[in-house]
Chains A and B, each alone.
Chain A
Amino acid sequence: MNPLISVRNLKKHFDVGEGMLKAVDGISFDIHEGETFGLVGESGCGKSTAGRTMIRLYEPTEGELLFNGQNVYELSSREMKEVRKNFQMIFQDPYACLNPRMTVEDIVAEPLDIHKICHSKKERRKRVMELLELVGLGKEHAMRFPHEFSGGQRQRVGIARALALNPKFIVCDEPISALDVSIQAQVVNLLKDLQAKLGLTYLFIAHDLSMVRYISDRVAVMYLGHIMELADSEELYNTPLHPYTKALLSAIPIPNPKEQRNRHRIMLEGDVPSPINPPQGCRFVDRCMYATDICRQKTPRLEEVKTGHHVACHLVKEINKEVL
């Protein structure tokens, strides 16, 4: 099966005056049609920049993104507008991403207006009502303003807007982290329903690792602009092979006191180093307990060590003798 989206050696650097901030520094992966691809990592690892660059909200520094066999980054702005209908985004902050002066109807219809999809007011309204119903809102909500809604409802409005153009691929950038636990579950269930109904493909960016495990088919772990590990989500969570993934997973507190008490936690020392002018070698080297000379000299490549399980670590075989 051909992937829907192929990312090839994608880089996004920002010039911040004191040097180059290498937010995304050469990542490659495929996303298949109908799948949810999770992208996790700690703040500053480049996961959001990766998502935004993928749908060309940022121009990439280097690399390709193949959509239906076409390199999206080479398209002119007119061609891009056509292709962009296929890419949408759901944002983290349901308070900031909706214009407070627009009614919900106008917010949801904005993509339709921009692409001149609807030819009459009646048609436009009909489409908006369809979309609102799809995300579990009612007709009565159409004429209201964003401040009249709770966080969960606002996120539904944002989702309705993202669906307006029948996109194929949606980047969900931390869509639930601003919501309460019970509301998070509502939104995640909605995203899953919509995927089943409309055959959507998601890139799900989050730092809540247990939610990512539940929603994603495959997961990639990022650290300082690099992908450290990529595998099926169950495989990744059950047998993490990269030292960083192991530490990250062991740090998630489990909502089960007995398990939590008997758990061995891998404590990482220090903080994530600065992504400005990062040194050669493995990005994780300063916090890794296994680091050797080669880790400082050469950047490890993301290699397949088991079927479908990719790891970027020079020492992966030595560290994981029992499983590899």
Chain B
Amino acid sequence: MGKVLEVKDLKISFKTFFGEVEAVRGISFDVGKRETVAIVGESGCGKSVTANSIMQLLPMPPAFFKGGEILFNGENLLDKTEKEMKEIRGNQISMVFQDPMTSLNPTMKIGDQIVEGLREHRKLTQKEAEQKAIEMLDLVAVPQPEKRIHQYPHEFSGGMRQRVMIALAMVSTPQLLIADEPTTALDVTVQAQILELMKTLQDRLDMSIILITHDLGVVADMSDRVIVMYAGQIVEQGTVDDIFYRPGHPYTRRLLASVPHPNLSKDEPLQAIEGSPPDLYVPPKGCAFYDRCDRAMKICKDHMPEFISHGDSHCSRCWLHHPMAKQVQDLGKEGA
């Protein structure tokens, strides 16, 4: 499978009044053609910063790249000029954001917003572009597109606005779609519609998707592979089945256990993860999960674990899997 995107040892920091925040601390992953890769993690773990950095949408300063590469079809995006990035952005890589109300221009008709995007990237007459805009709305199943292009965002419901956002992202049939919490602001029945739509479009357009979400149900539904982030690092990655049925990192296990399972009895407490993630002004020397981990060892405090492979594409960053570590029976064999 060809690789569309390769991220290598990416490091991003923010300069703030109080010092430097190391938001992304050396992450590497890739995305194959037609593959859906989910990035999960809690707020502040760096998942959105990663997504925005691929599109180079981070405000610089305060943000700056400390190292690493983002290879898109083999070319490093960090070497591109702003003009070249403009070509790629919206053409080959598109993005869908969480909040469709703030991402659309409230003073412009829906049709005009799509036409603007189309004419930015392609030589089309106004008439042709309008025709195309209607087709795009039809593609994302907005009813009566001929009528709807003359309406404003406030005349659309949340789900319909998110469809428009997806239509905007699709105008140039991108190879890679980055969806940052695309359904978080939506109701479940509408969420189901939007996720279904994304799958259909992926099949039709041969697109790769990076899906950023904190909803493990959405991850199970949509993704081929999963990347788990914690405190600016990847702590585990693998296929969706690896992550859900053979989780290797204690954080992944605890995260999965903290959502109520349908068979959970009401008398059992939920398995909360006590405490909160570390402050990234002063990132910990050792494993970032040390303070909250129920299996922490001495070495975890001061030494950062390396990735240890559990098979083909499955690896996690935890000392428990080191060959010299005391073998833990149940680890990595739970679930299923």
Contact-size category for A = 35 or more
B217 touching A254, Cβ below 8 Å? yes
A220→B184 CA distance, assembly (Å): 23
What mask results when residues 28 to 52 of chain A are scored 1 for a CB within 8 Å of chain B, else 0?
0000000000000011000000000
Who on chain A is nearest to B273 by CB? A182
A267 touching B255, Cβ below 8 Å? no
Who on chain A is nearest to B215 by CB? A253
Number of interface residues of B (CB under 8 A): 45
A300→B86 CA distance, assembly (Å): 56
Who on chain B is nearest to A238 by CB? B262
> Would A251 and B258 be within 8 Å (CB), given that A180-B214, A186-B272, A214-B266 are in contact?
no
Residues of B contacting A185 with CB < 8 Å? 258-259, 270-273
What mask results when residues 186 to 223 of chain A are scored 1 for a CB within 8 Å of chain B, else 0?
10110010000000000000010111011100000000
Which residues of A146-178 are within 8 A (CB) of B?
150, 152
A248 interface residue, CB < 8 Å from B?
A: yes
What is the distance, in angstroms, from B290's C-beta to the closest C-beta of chain A? 15
B259 touching A255, Cβ below 8 Å? yes
A260 touching B192, Cβ below 8 Å? no
Who on chain B is nearest to A184 by CB? B258
Residues of A contacting B276 with CB < 8 Å? 150, 152, 183
A213→B216 CA distance, assembly (Å): 17
Which of A150, A214, A237 has the largest number of chain B CB atoms within 10 A? A214
A255 touching B256, Cβ below 8 Å? yes
Q: Say which one of B110-118, B165-173, B218-226 lies at the interface with A.
A: B218-226
A247 touching B189, Cβ below 8 Å? yes
A254→B264 CA distance, assembly (Å): 13
What is the distance, in angstroms, from B24's C-beta to the closest C-beta of chain A? 18
What is the distance, in angstroms, from A186's C-beta to the closest C-beta of chain B? 4
Who on chain B is nearest to A271 by CB? B157
Residues of B contacting A213 with CB < 8 Å? 260, 262
> Would A42 and B196 be within 8 Å (CB), given that A189-B269, A255-B216, A260-B217 are in contact?
no
> Would A181 and B42 be within 8 Å (CB), given that A213-B260, A256-B244, A268-B189 are in contact?
yes
> Would A267 and B42 be within 8 Å (CB), given that A185-B258, A253-B215, A255-B259 are in contact?
no
A188 touching B188, Cβ below 8 Å? no
A289 interface residue, CB < 8 Å from B?
A: no
A252 interface residue, CB < 8 Å from B?
A: yes
Which of A180, A251, A252 has the largest number of chain B CB atoms within 10 A? A180
Residues of B contacting A255 with CB < 8 Å? 216-217, 219-220, 244, 256, 259, 261
A265 interface residue, CB < 8 Å from B?
A: yes
B220 touching A42, Cβ below 8 Å? no
B43 touching A180, Cβ below 8 Å? yes
> Would A182 and B254 be within 8 Å (CB), given that A248-B188, A251-B191 are in contact?
yes
What mask results when residues 75 to 119 of chain A are scored 1 for a CB within 8 Å of chain B, else 0?
000000000000000000000000000000000000000000000
> Would A252 and B217 be within 8 Å (CB), given that A42-B188, A214-B270 are in contact?
yes
List residues of A whose CB falls within 8 A of some B CB.
42-43, 150, 152, 180-186, 188-189, 192, 207, 209-211, 213-215, 237, 247-248, 251-260, 265, 267-268, 270-272
9 A-B residue pairings within 8 Å (CB atoms): A43-B187, A185-B258, A185-B273, A251-B188, A257-B240, A257-B245, A260-B217, A270-B143, A271-B160
